[in-house]
Structure 1
Amino acid sequence: MATVYFLDVPENVPIVEVAERDERVRVERTGPYFAVSADTGFEIDRRATGSRHAVWYSCVAGLGGFRISGWDKDSLRLKVRT
């Protein structure tokens, strides 16, 4: 299972909530981070999160087993590393 980490701060909560809507995704808290895990790649729609661009482009704190396949003003796309 691959994981993307987001710092547990109020600005990132909407991002994690949108990710959690995907039934393939599991969210846990690990220390000061949200650990968002999945067996497959997934996408987070920025517009659905309501995040400003500054928050959006600084939200990822770390990756474990994922790679970012795309990150633009519309979405964050994650793929499992092979």
Structure 2
Amino acid sequence: MSTFFVLDVPENITLPEVAAQDPRVWIERIGPYFRISSPGAIVVDRRATGCRHAVWYSAVAGLLDSRITQHDKNALRVESR
């Protein structure tokens, strides 16, 4: 299971919205965070989120039994360990 967390603030809101467009991804609210999970890899296109680079690179608040395998100006890819 691939899982990462994003703080629920206005700057980050498009990241879980774009991730949720994949039918294998589900989003939960856990306190002030979005928990973004999928049985497979989660890939989020930065341009689709409209995030500026500073927000993009600081959006991931944590991981759960997962690792980031791509986090560049194009995409964020999170995979289970």
Corresponding pairs, count: 81
Say whether residues 1:4 and 2:4 are aligned partners. Answer: yes
Deviation at 1:2, TM superposition (A): 3.1
The whole-number CA distance in structure 2 between the counterparts of 1:2 and 1:20 is 14
Deviation at 1:71, TM superposition (A): 0.5
Q: TM-score, normalised by structure 2?
A: 0.96
The whole-number CA distance in structure 2 between the counterparts of 1:35 and 1:42 is 12
Tell me what 2:54 maps to.
54
Deviation at 1:65, TM superposition (A): 1.6
Tell me what 2:21 maps to.
21
Deviation at 1:32, TM superposition (A): 0.6
Checking the alignment, whether the CA contact within 8 Å between 2:20 and 2:27 is kept in structure 1 is yes
Q: Which runs of 5+ in 2 are unaligned?
A: none
| Root mean square deviation of aligned Cα | 0.8
Q: Which runs of 5+ in 1 are unaligned?
A: none
Deviation at 1:21, TM superposition (A): 0.3
